[in-house]
Structure 1
Amino acid sequence: MASRVVTVSQDGTTGDFRTVQEAIDMVPLCNTCRTVIRVAPGVYRQPVYVPKTKNLITLAGICPENTILTWNNTATKIEHHQASRVIGTGTFGCGSVIVEGEDFIAENITFENSSPEGSGQAVAIRVTADRCAFYNCRFLGWQDTLYLHYGKQYLKDCYIEGSVDFIFGNSTAILEHCHIHCKSQGFITAQSRKSSQETTGYVFLRCVITGNGGNSYTYLGRPWGPFGRVVFAYTYMDACIKHGGWNNWGKTENERSACFYEYRCFGPGSCPAKRVTWCRELINEEAEQFLAHSFVDPDPQRPWLALRMALKIPYSA
């Protein structure tokens, strides 16, 4: 079945809808064909919710710098058109955008939480959905910017900024060719794998990490769950990364269970000899499982990512 295309424009003259939420609300419940929502340039100031009952939605902008979805909720202050019993409370419910519908795609969109530094947890987007992909998107905020909570996600050519735990959750994700920017001291990741049996984790593949010009002020990550798993491979790290690299979140017992790996990274922040003793520099055979797209697309009989024109995109697109 062919996909349906609708448009959003704030002035109402060139689009089918004035807000992104109105376009999402139009999508039929339990839909089986993709709806492409083309978003005209503009700053859209309202929270956005994609419910579990609405899958196969694409949000497509023209340029992420001028197509911005923004709101300013925090874990302690949530204003939303949905009730807390629907979206949750605290960090879980404060996302400017909350995606719970599967097979979601975004391209050329900025997701922002505009709360100022020091506001505490302030999520730009929470993704609680399987098989979601983001291309050339920006994720802006300070603490807890990108909440990859559940499911499998693929991010390509994206920009993610923040300070404390700004990529966090317990999904299975590959972030490829992404730019990670550390605005102030803190931790890039807080992955929350609960047991060694879980297959979740974050893989940063051929990424770039930049800072604000300072030296040795941020960690690559800390384990939100005791078995938190994060891999940085072929990634440039500038001098903002602390020599020790990783933090145990104040619990020495996490050092026995956390799976923090690096592989062939480079730059002034890549210091294998000075890293904490409980992280690992992978050898070739160990790294293979993390370097292939099968990390997020493990079933060859039912793949969800397809290769078209040298770009991995969801089959459903």
Structure 2
Amino acid sequence: MTNQESCLDGFLRDSDDKKIRETLLVGRELGAGEEGDSDTKGWPEWQSAGDRRLLQGKTVTPDITVVADGSGDYSTVSAAVAAAPEPSKRRFIIRIEAGVYRENVEFPSRKTNLMFVGDSRLTTIITASRNVVDGSTAFDSAIVAVALRINADLCAFYRCSMIAYQDTLYVHSLCQFIVSCYIAGTIDFIFGNAAAVLQACDIHPRRPNPSQRNMITAQGRDDPNQNTVVMQTTINDIVNPAGWYPWDGNFALDTLYYAEYANTGAGADTSNRVNWKGYRVITASEAQQFTFSQFIAGDSWLPSTGFPYTLGL
């Protein structure tokens, strides 16, 4: 549904696109409630036995290697992605050695089962910028400028850094797990419509311009029914005591779901939080439904990655 909403946003809102928009809206209704399947052992059905053995191993052998100085199979990440099979029936591993790769990397939907392995989040760096001078423009466009956009299913990130200013991490749709990562930005820098769990991450607001407010996450805007839960998190005193900020007047304040549970630190006191119908401090039993195992059924697919995680509270 979110993919189709993004498609809707991409059209200019005039009479010429009416039939296209109506068709997409019908598709959204028909698609509601669809879910994926897993086999009796908890693995996604699309994963082969060989793929499972590969991901459960302690080490991985790359299919191709990227080295910035040209001494590997490719010197750019984009070239390595282009060389990957489409689609791949098994996990295709791209090793990216230490270096700075100045490029915008895109993954076409036909590129499946890709795995990136870097040297470290401090030494393997993919960075880029776009502006009007180089032909990029935001005029008449619904596309935001993000550091990382994820709209593939069952994606996992471990020990990565995602650093930008506005709109750093766009968890667009489907299901993602992000663990032990560093995420920094200024305005709305974690947002999207995915079922996403961020666990053991460092989330750092950067200093904004004098006239700007720092918003860590931006939910409850176009969609009045949004779930955002902060739980078992250390919050320092940089967070405003009110905790949450309205999007547009009273819009969605009764229908959104913002919650906190068992947070600690100087900014965790909820006594001065907003007084909205949609905001609440939840109990352990209520928080359980937002854990890794229940919210994204993580125990059915994440063990294959070998990443560390906590299932429950």
CA deviation string 1:141-182 (max 9, x = no partner): 010000100110000100000110000110000000000001
Q: Which residue of 1 aligns with 2:119?
A: 62
Distance 1:264 1:136 in 2: 24
Q: Which runs of 5+ in 1 are unaligned?
A: 93-120, 193-222
Indicate whether 1:291 and 2:274 are aligned.
no
Distance 2:202 2:191 in 1: 16
Q: Which residue of 2 aligns with 1:138?
A: 161
1:304 is matched with which residue: 281, 293, 301?
Answer: 301
Q: Which residue of 2 aligns with 1:207?
A: none
The 8 Å contact of residues 197 and 292 in structure 2, kept in 1 or not, is answered as no
Distance 1:190 1:77 in 2: 29
> Which amino acid in 2 is paired with 1:295?
F
Please report the TM-score for the alignment, with normalisation by the length of structure 2: 0.72
Alpha-carbon RMSD across the aligned residues, in angstroms, is 2.4
The structural deviation recorded for 1:32 is 1.1
Listed as ranges, the matches of 1:61-140 within 5 Å are 61-73=118-130, 90=141, 92=143, 122-140=145-163
Q: Which runs of 5+ in 2 are unaligned?
A: 1-49, 55-61, 208-212
When residues 305 and 144 of structure 1 are mapped into structure 2, their CA distance, relative to the original with a 3 A threshold, is same
Q: Percent identity?
A: 34
The structural deviation recorded for 1:248 is 1.5
Q: Which residue of 1 aligns with 2:90?
A: 33
Q: Which has the higher strand share?
A: 1
Distance 2:76 2:306 in 1: 32
> Which amino acid in 2 is paired with 1:305?
L
The 8 Å contact of residues 190 and 228 in structure 1, kept in 2 or not, is answered as no
When residues 91 and 18 of structure 1 are mapped into structure 2, their CA distance, relative to the original with a 3 A threshold, is farther
Q: Which residue of 1 aligns with 2:12?
A: none
The structural deviation recorded for 1:190 is 1.3
Listed as ranges, the matches of 1:1-317 within 5 Å are 1=50, 5-13=63-71, 15-73=72-130, 90=141, 92=143, 122-184=145-207, 185-191=213-219, 223=221, 225-278=223-276, 279-297=279-297, 303-306=300-303, 311-312=308-309
> Which amino acid in 1 is paired with 2:74?
F
The 8 Å contact of residues 171 and 191 in structure 2, kept in 1 or not, is answered as yes
The structural deviation recorded for 1:77 is 7.6
Number of matched pairs: 243
The structural deviation recorded for 1:228 is 2.0
The 8 Å contact of residues 31 and 56 in structure 1, kept in 2 or not, is answered as yes
When residues 153 and 24 of structure 1 are mapped into structure 2, their CA distance, relative to the original with a 3 A threshold, is same
Q: Which has the higher helix share?
A: 2
**Greater RCO (CA < 8 Å, at least 6 residues apart):** 2
The residue matched to 2:149 in structure 1 has which SS?
Answer: strand
CA deviation string 1:63-122 (max 9, x = no partner): 111111111136x78758xxx9xxxx8463xxxxxxxxxxxxxxxxxxxxxxxxxxxx53
> Which amino acid in 1 is paired with 2:272?
K
CA deviation string 1:217-241 (max 9, x = no partner): xxxxxx4532121111110111110
